[in-house]
Amino acid sequence: MTGVQQLAEKFALLKKRSEKALVTYITAGDPDMQTTGRLVLAMDRAGADIIELGVPFSDPSADGPVIQRASTRALRNHTNPAGILKLVEEVREKVKTPLVLMSYYNPILQYGLNAFCADAARAGVAGLIIPDLPVEEAGPLITEADKVGLALIPLAAPTSNRHRLAKITAAARGFIYCVTVTGITGTRQDVTGEIARLAGQVREFTDLPIVAGFGIATTDQAAAVARYCDGVVVGSALVRLVEEQGEDSLQSVAGLTRQLKGVLSSAQVQFGKNG
Amino acid sequence: MQPDSRGYFGAYGGTFVPETLMPALEELIEAYQKARQDDDFQREVEYYLHHYVGRPSPVYFAAALSRQIGGARIFLKREDLNHTGAHKINNTIGQLLLARRMGKQRIVAETGAGQHGVATATVAAMLGMKCVVYMGKEDTERQSLNVFRMRLLGAEVVEVCSGSGTLKDAMNEAMRDWVTNVRDTFYVIGSVAGPHPYPMMVRDFQAVIGREARRQMLEQTGALPHCVVACVGGGSNSMGIFHAFLEDADVKLVGVEAGGLGLSSGKHAAPLNAGRPGVLHGSYSYLVQDRYGQVTPVHSISAGLDYPGVGPEHSYLKDNGRVHYAVATDQEALAAFHLLCRTEGILPALESSHALSEAVKLAPQMESHQNILVCLSGRGDKDVHTVAREMGVDLG
């Protein structure tokens, strides 16, 4: 099954069950690759629907302090894309959730777009999220990703106008990642101010699932945001647990995952526009 | 040359930024294209460059230096005599006037040596705009005088501890601020780097250096120089002076990168000589990186050249061979610094000393009727602590 198919099947299943998707993020190689593998299994068992693995980059200019520090730790351990693909290959058979990679563009570009997409698809990666690759520059990577059925998942932002949303959604595969706030990753007080309008506008252009991320840390925030979309991403809140507890973070990461999935499966988030 | 509609100079350039910033870049491109064709805007820029910055800056024949070295005659384009002491203000005048036209009230900037930060804070003070400058922790320490100058000018200086605590990290942090406050904030990039339209726009604002110098050389020597030399960090003073000479095929253009402790030591800041193309800070260009695409730490004695990337137009000019890119090590730059102090009574910035060092190498291989034009991009007052430390002198 291709990555695009894995994601489509997952969202179809969620729709049938009237659930919203929980997408969890951790940085690969933080605190080490072995723990990352165990965290993936733990999140999968605890109910994560899609797991995002961050490929660490030396200059994560779209990330807040928590993920910046995680990237630094991971790079100190010599984490690299080939190692991450190897990990995905190893855990792929043991987990039910699609795995997507979040990476800045340069590590993929240096690997080689063609080689990276081929190796990622072979390892079982379902999709890619590249925060510094706007639709204008995405052409070459989309071409390579499409050849192997890997979903290049684009970001839409509160500042994106309708003209841009039309271009973004036209090039989208898998789902649309809507950024809840203008800013970088990391926890925030208010994450619902812009998402209703943005998700509504994106919906006018596409039937692909809409997932919201940036700043969502608590079950209350997840529930509030999920009303307007098909799923939420929680990243920095989980990475913070890994930062604090290292290899011993499995239980608390699984615990937060379970709580978040709990609210996303319940009735209270289902009466949004698309529920 | 002009980049294509997507901001590419040949294979280099583009707009590799988060979606959140794309509408702001589209707005900037449109505003800049209008301003470029607007005589009122151009007159306004010229007014401030003349009455506030003190342009045109002189071209000075460094007779004593030339005599001492022998060979070609060396001329200095005195950007160090501009208000705030470097070429950086040519660009900040342009960008802040543009920001004002666009109705943006808040300015953010990154700075390495502090010259761009000071130039931004200066013009922000003059135009009554709020200004935040991001500066790497290592740079705030080696350029503490400029930190204080910026604060005197009313700017908020934010010390950046992430990464290596130098210019690239300051740029990351400025981009994070911009992406967060994009609706009311204008990001004043200080070099010909970053996403389109910055490399083109900053080059246009700095091109005044070459336009003046070309005319001044014709007036003073009756001919174009045989060779134009400028240092290259991000590459704004060099693009600024080269631009007017690109079509003059007989004029040799030489950019000088920071060789640090030597290219073989790995401790340098010379992407064009020792890097390969990659994406950083919004554009595709030569980059100092490891095999996995991670940007690796760079080193230069000069904070303004301590940057792993370079403007995309330089990458284009390297590949097509129009510009030759040389390197000068820390020690060579220091030697040129001392030489200019002693022979001409001019204290050059350590950045500019890299260009001087190359001129000192080239001149003896040339004829006495040939002329070398060096872009003396800034003055070296900010660097006296660094130089003193290198000499083992404790200034307390």
Query: Is B338 in the A-facing interface, judged by CB distances under 8 Å?
Result: no
Q: A209 has which bridge partners?
A: none
Residue written as tokens 């872009």? B375
The domain of A97 spans 3-265
- Whether residue A254 is contained in a domain is answered as yes
User: How does DSSP classify residue B58?
Assistant: P
- Whether residue B318 is contained in a domain is answered as yes
Q: CA B241, CA B210: separation in Å to the nearest integer?
A: 4
Q: Which of A107, A134, A183 is facing B17, going by the closest CB pair?
A: A134
Which tens digit of pLDDT belongs to each residue from A176-194?
A: 999 999 999 987 878 888 9
Query: Is B172 in the A-facing interface, judged by CB distances under 8 Å?
Result: yes
Do B174 and B269 have their domain in common? no
Q: A23 has which bridge partners?
A: A50, A233
Query: Which of A67, A86, A106 would you mutate first to test chain B, the one with the most B CBs within 10 A?
Result: A106
Do B279 and B373 have their domain in common? yes
User: Nearest residue of B to residue A164 by CA position?
Assistant: B23
Do B277 and B168 have their domain in common? no
Give helix B88-101 / helix B39-48 axis angle, nearest 10°. 140
Residues of B in contact with A61 (CB under 8 A): 18, 171-172, 175-176, 179, 281
Which tens digit of pLDDT belongs to each residue from A70-114?
A: 999 999 999 999 999 999 999 999 998 999 999 999 999 999 999
Query: Which of B161, B294, B298 would you mutate first to test chain A, the one with the most A CBs within 10 A?
Result: B294
**pLDDT, average across residues B289-312:** 95
- Please state the domain count of chain A: 1
Q: CA B271, CA B315: separation in Å to the nearest integer?
A: 9
Query: Is B378 in the A-facing interface, judged by CB distances under 8 Å?
Result: no
Which tens digit of pLDDT belongs to each residue from A188-216?
A: 878 888 999 999 999 999 999 999 999 99
A164/B175 touch (CB, cutoff 8 Å), yes or no? no
Q: CA B319, CA A144: separation in Å to the nearest integer?
A: 27
Q: CA B156, CA B151: separation in Å to the nearest integer?
A: 6
**pLDDT of the residue at B84:** 97
**pLDDT, average across residues B187-192:** 98
Encoded tokens for B195: 């996403």
Residue written as tokens 């007159």? B43
Please report the beta strands in A85-141, taking only residues with DSSP state E, as ranges in sequence order: 99-102, 127-129
Short-list A252, A108, A220, A191, CA closest to B16: A108
**pLDDT, average across residues B47-71:** 98
- Whether residue A271 is contained in a domain is answered as no
Q: How far is B153 from chain A (nearest CA, A)?
A: 28
Backbone angles phi, psi at B339, to 5 degrees: -60, -45
**Within 13 A of B287's CA, how many CA atoms are on the CB side?**
29
User: Nearest residue of B to residue A163 by CA position?
Assistant: B23
Encoded tokens for B310: 């370079």
- Cα separations in angstroms, B298 against B71, B170, B271, B273: 34, 14, 9, 13
Which of B88, B104, B168, B252 is flagged as catalytic? B88
A59/B279 touch (CB, cutoff 8 Å), yes or no? no
Do B174 and B305 have their domain in common? no
Q: How far is A161 from chain B (nearest CA, A)?
A: 7
**pLDDT of the residue at B166:** 86
Encoded tokens for B113: 């040596």
- Please state the domain count of chain B: 2
**pLDDT of the residue at A215:** 93
Q: How far is A17 from chain B (nearest CA, A)?
A: 32
Contacts of A83 (CB under 8 A, 6+ apart): A28, A29, A33
Query: Is A76 in the B-facing interface, judged by CB distances under 8 Å?
Result: no
Which of A19, A44, A63, A119 is flagged as catalytic? A63
Q: Is B255 helix (H, G, I), strand (E, B) or coil?
A: strand
- Strand order across the beta sheet in which B185-188 lies: B156-160, B130-136, B106-111, B185-188
ipTM surpassing 0.90, yes or no? yes
Residues of A in contact with B182 (CB under 8 A): 159, 182
Average pLDDT across chain A, whole number: 95
**pLDDT of the residue at B142:** 79
CB A38 within 8 A of CB A27: no
Which tens digit of pLDDT belongs to each residue from A240-256?
A: 999 999 999 999 999 99
Give me the CATH number covering residue A29: 3.20.20.70
Query: Which of B185, B292, B295, B298 would you mutate first to test chain A, the one with the most A CBs within 10 A?
Result: B292
Give me the CATH number covering residue B257: 3.40.50.1100
Check if A59 is active-site: no
Do B190 and B324 have their domain in common? no
Query: Is B42 in the A-facing interface, judged by CB distances under 8 Å?
Result: no
Query: Band of the pLDDT at A268, cuts 50, 70, 90?
Result: low
Short-list B137, B74, B128, B76, CA closest to B376: B76
Residue written as tokens 């509504």? A200
Distant-in-sequence contacts of B144-152, Cβ < 8 A, 24+ apart: B144/B385, B145/B114, B145/B381, B145/B382, B145/B385, B146/B111, B146/B113, B146/B114, B146/B115, B146/B117, B146/B118, B146/B382, B147/B114, B149/B114, B149/B118, B149/B121, B150/B114, B150/B117, B150/B118, B150/B121
B289/A110 touch (CB, cutoff 8 Å), yes or no? yes
User: Nearest residue of A to residue B281 by CA position?
Assistant: A61
The domain of B360 spans 55-85+206-391
Q: CA B67, CA B320: separation in Å to the nearest integer?
A: 35
- Whether residue A240 is contained in a domain is answered as yes
Do B171 and B290 have their domain in common? no
B176/A159 touch (CB, cutoff 8 Å), yes or no? no
Short-list B138, B77, B143, B98, CA closest to B116: B143
Which secondary-structure segment (H or E) carries A139?
A: helix A139-147
**pLDDT, average across residues A152-178:** 98
**pLDDT of the residue at A187:** 76
Which tens digit of pLDDT belongs to each residue from B24-36?
A: 999 999 999 999 9
Q: Which of residues 4-33 of B touch A (CB under 8 A)?
A: 6, 14-24
**pLDDT of the residue at A272:** 47
Q: CA B106, CA B260: separation in Å to the nearest integer?
A: 36
Do B155 and B241 have their domain in common? no
- Whether residue A178 is contained in a domain is answered as yes
Contacts of B66 (CB under 8 A, 6+ apart): B72, B73, B74, B363
Q: Which of B23, B181, B292 is facing A160, going by the closest CB pair?
A: B23
Do B274 and B320 have their domain in common? yes
Answer with the residue of higher pLDDT: B395 or B7. B7
Q: CA B323, CA B315: separation in Å to the nearest integer?
A: 10
Could you tell me whether strands B282-287 and B252-260 are parallel, antiparallel, or unpaired per DSSP bridges? unpaired
Residue written as tokens 């800034």? B378
Q: CA B170, CA B133: separation in Å to the nearest integer?
A: 9
Distant-in-sequence contacts of B214-219, Cβ < 8 A, 24+ apart: B214/B244, B214/B245, B216/B56, B216/B58, B216/B59, B216/B77, B217/B59, B217/B75, B217/B371, B217/B373
Which tens digit of pLDDT belongs to each residue from A31-57?
A: 999 999 999 999 999 999 999 999 999
Interface A–B counts its CB contacts (< 8 A) at 120
**pLDDT of the residue at A191:** 86
Q: Which of B23, B172, B293 is facing A61, going by the closest CB pair?
A: B172
Do B131 and B149 have their domain in common? yes
Residues of B in contact with A156 (CB under 8 A): 19
Which tens digit of pLDDT belongs to each residue from B221-250?
A: 999 999 999 999 999 999 999 999 999 999
Listed in sequence order, the DSSP H helices in A17-64 are: 33-45
Encoded tokens for B236: 């704004």
B198, B217, B249 - which closes a domain: B198
B198, B222, B252 - which closes a domain: B198
- Whether residue A55 is contained in a domain is answered as yes
Do B40 and B64 have their domain in common? no
B176/A64 touch (CB, cutoff 8 Å), yes or no? yes
Q: Which of A59, A65, A135 is facing B295, going by the closest CB pair?
A: A59
Short-list A205, A228, A202, A231, CA closest to A98: A231
Encoded tokens for A268: 């209270």
Q: CA B103, CA A191: separation in Å to the nearest integer?
A: 27
User: How does DSSP classify residue B378?
Assistant: B
- Whether residue A272 is contained in a domain is answered as no
- Whether residue A273 is contained in a domain is answered as no
Backbone angles phi, psi at A178, to 5 degrees: -95, 125
Which of A52, A144, A194, A230 is flagged as catalytic? A52
Query: Is B37 in the A-facing interface, judged by CB distances under 8 Å?
Result: no
B19/A134 touch (CB, cutoff 8 Å), yes or no? yes
Query: Is B168 in the A-facing interface, judged by CB distances under 8 Å?
Result: yes
Q: Is B393 helix (H, G, I), strand (E, B) or coil?
A: coil
Check if A52 is active-site: yes
B162/A68 touch (CB, cutoff 8 Å), yes or no? yes
Query: Is A113 in the B-facing interface, judged by CB distances under 8 Å?
Result: no
Q: Is the dihedral of CA B34, B37, B40, B42 positive or negative?
A: positive
Residues of A in contact with B167 (CB under 8 A): none
Which tens digit of pLDDT belongs to each residue from B245-267?
A: 999 999 999 999 999 999 999 99
User: Nearest residue of A to residue B18 by CA position?
Assistant: A132
Query: Is B112 in the A-facing interface, judged by CB distances under 8 Å?
Result: no
- Whether residue A232 is contained in a domain is answered as yes
The number of beta carbons lying within 10 Å of the beta carbon of residue A188 is 17
Q: How far is A106 from chain B (nearest CA, A)?
A: 5
pTM of the predicted protein model: 0.96
**pLDDT, average across residues B140-151:** 91
**pLDDT, average across residues B181-207:** 97
| Residue A126 Cα to chain centre, angstroms | 11
A273 pLDDT higher than 60: no
B198, B216, B233 - which closes a domain: B198
**pLDDT, average across residues A217-241:** 96
Residues of A in contact with B289 (CB under 8 A): 106, 110
**pLDDT, average across residues B72-93:** 98
In chain B, pLDDT over 70 holds for what percent of residues? Answer: 100
In chain A, pLDDT over 70 holds for what percent of residues? Answer: 97
Short-list B225, B387, B364, CA closest to B301: B387
Query: Is A83 in the B-facing interface, judged by CB distances under 8 Å?
Result: no
Q: CA B39, CA B35: separation in Å to the nearest integer?
A: 8
Short-list B187, B150, B145, B143, CA closest to B165: B143
Q: CA A127, CA A102: separation in Å to the nearest integer?
A: 9
Do B95 and B226 have their domain in common? no
Do B189 and B268 have their domain in common? no
Could you tell me whether strands B276-280 and A50-54 are parallel, antiparallel, or unpaired per DSSP bridges? unpaired
CB-based burial label for A89 (10 Å; 0-12, 13-18, 19+): middle
Give helix B198-206 / helix B208-221 axis angle, nearest 10°. 30
Q: How far is A41 from chain B (nearest CA, A)?
A: 27
